[in-house]
Amino acid sequence: MADVSQKTNLPPIPVESIHRYHLKIRDQLRTAFEEVLEGDRFTLGVQLAEFEREFATYCGTFSAVGVSSGTTALTLGLRALGVGPGDEVITVPNTYVATAFAITYVGATPVFVDVDPDTFNLDPSTLADALSEKTKAIIPVHMYGQCADVDAIRAAAPGIPILEDAAHAHGADLRGKSAGSLGELAAFSFYPTKVMGALGDGGITATSNAELDAKLRQLRYMGQTTTKHDHEILGYQERLDEMQAAFLRVKLGQLASQVEGRRRVAAIYDERLSATPLALPAKDVTGKHVYYMYTVLSDEREALRTFLIDHGVGAQVVYPRLVNEQGAYRDHPYRVAGELKVASTLPERILNLPMWAELTDDEVHRVASTVVAFYEGS
Ligand SMILES: Cc1ncc(COP(=O)(O)O)c(C=O)c1O
C-alpha cells in the first residue's frame, strides 16, 4: 500500500503554479522588462510586432493579432467573421463561460452540442442536428490541451467558418498541424497559468486570411485604418501592450520545453494511476496533447477531492457547471441541440490533478501515491 500518512507535513502541491517557472527565467523576464522600460513605446511597438510575427510562425499562420485577453480574441474574432444579431454559433457547454459569452456579446445565440466521451471535445456527429440556416460559425474548444477534431467538424459542416478556442492548447497539434492553424481563425488566451501565459492578461488571434487579419487589427484599435484619426468602424481599445508582448516573446521560446514538462508529468500519472478506477485522459487521440490540465473522471469525486486536499495535494474541478446552466443564461437566449448526454455527466465526475511543468518526479509520485492510497482505503 502506498504510504502517504507521514508525508502530510510536506509542503502542499498546488494544482497549478508558475512561481518556479518564473524563478527559472527571471533574468530573461527582467531583460525584457528593461528593454520596454528604456524604449519609448508602450503600445503597438516593436515588441508586439515581433511577437505577432513569431507567434504566427510558430502556429504556421499568415498572421497573429495581439489583443487584451482570450475573451477579447474570441469576441473580436466573431466580429471579424461578421457574426451578429440573429446568427447562431455552435459550441460546447463544458467550457469556460468566455467561449459562450463572446457569442452573446456580439448579439448571436450560442447553440450547445454534446462532446466526445474520451476527449471531452465537440462531437462532430452532433452537428447534423445543430446546423440551421442561421449557423454562422462553429467554436470548437481544444479542451484541456487536446485538439478537437477540426477535420471531422469541417467535413460535417462544410462551408461554416471555424473559430478555434485554443485557450488550452498552445503547442498542441491535430495530426501534425498546429493548434491555431486549423480553423479560419483561432483565439488564444495568455492568462498567466495557461500553457503559455503573460504576467497579466493577454490574448491573440491567429489566421491565414488577410482580410480577417486586417479586420482584426482595425477592431482591436478603435476601428482605425492605417491612417491616424480615421475610424472607419466601431472598434475597441483592446491591444496587447508592449510589456506583455516582451514577456510573451520570452515565454514563446520556452513553450516547447513547457509542453515536454507537462507531458512528463502526464506520463507518470498515466502509469501510476492506470490500475485505479479513475478514467484517465485519452492520450494523443487526434495529435499532441499539451496537458493544460490533467483531468480524470471519478465516481467518488467529492470524497477523492477532499482526501487529496487533506493530504496536501491540490485538486480542482474545471468546469463545475455547464455554461447553459450558468445564471447569466437565465437572461440571454441559447439553444441546446440534441441531448448533452456526455457533457451533463462531467461536472460531477471531473477532477484536475496538479499539472505544471516544474513539478518534480517525486512530487508527481506523491500525488499519485495519494490517489492510490484513497482507493486502497488508507
Ligand atoms: C476555454 C477558454 N476560452 C476562453 C478563455 C478566456 O481567456 P481570458 O481569460 O484570457 O479572457 C479561457 C480562459 O480562461 C478558456 O479557458
Residue 350 resides in a domain? yes
Model confidence band, residue 4 (pLDDT cutoffs 50, 70, 90): low
Q: Which domain holds residue 226?
A: 23-250
Residue 17 resides in a domain? no
Q: How far apart are CA 294 and CA 15, in angstroms?
A: 10
Residues 86 and 60 in one domain: yes
Pick the atom of ligand 1 nearest to 143's CA.
1
Q: What is the pLDDT at residue 378?
A: 67
Coil, strand, or helix at residue 206? strand
Residues 48 and 80 in one domain: yes
> Tell me, what CATH number does 369's domain have?
3.90.1150.10
Q: How far apart are CA 33 and CA 246, in angstroms?
A: 7
Residues 186 and 241 in one domain: yes
> Tell me, what CATH number does 235's domain have?
3.40.640.10
Query: What's the burial of 212, exposed, middle or buried (CB within 10 Å: 0-12/13-18/19+)?
Result: buried
Residues 244 and 347 in one domain: no
Overall number of domains in the chain: 2
Query: 69 CB less than 6 Å from ligand 1?
Result: yes
pLDDT digits (tens, 9 = 90+) for 30-70: 999 999 999 999 999 999 999 999 999 999 999 999 999 99
Task: For ligand 1, pick from 71, 205, 290 the residue to mutate: most ligand atoms within 8 Å of CB.
Answer: 71
Q: Whose CA is nearest to atom 10 of ligand 1?
A: 70
Q: What percent of the chain has pLDDT over 70?
A: 98
Neighbours of 257 (CB within 10 A): 11
Q: How far apart are CA 293 and CA 20, in angstroms?
A: 18
Model confidence band, residue 133 (pLDDT cutoffs 50, 70, 90): very high
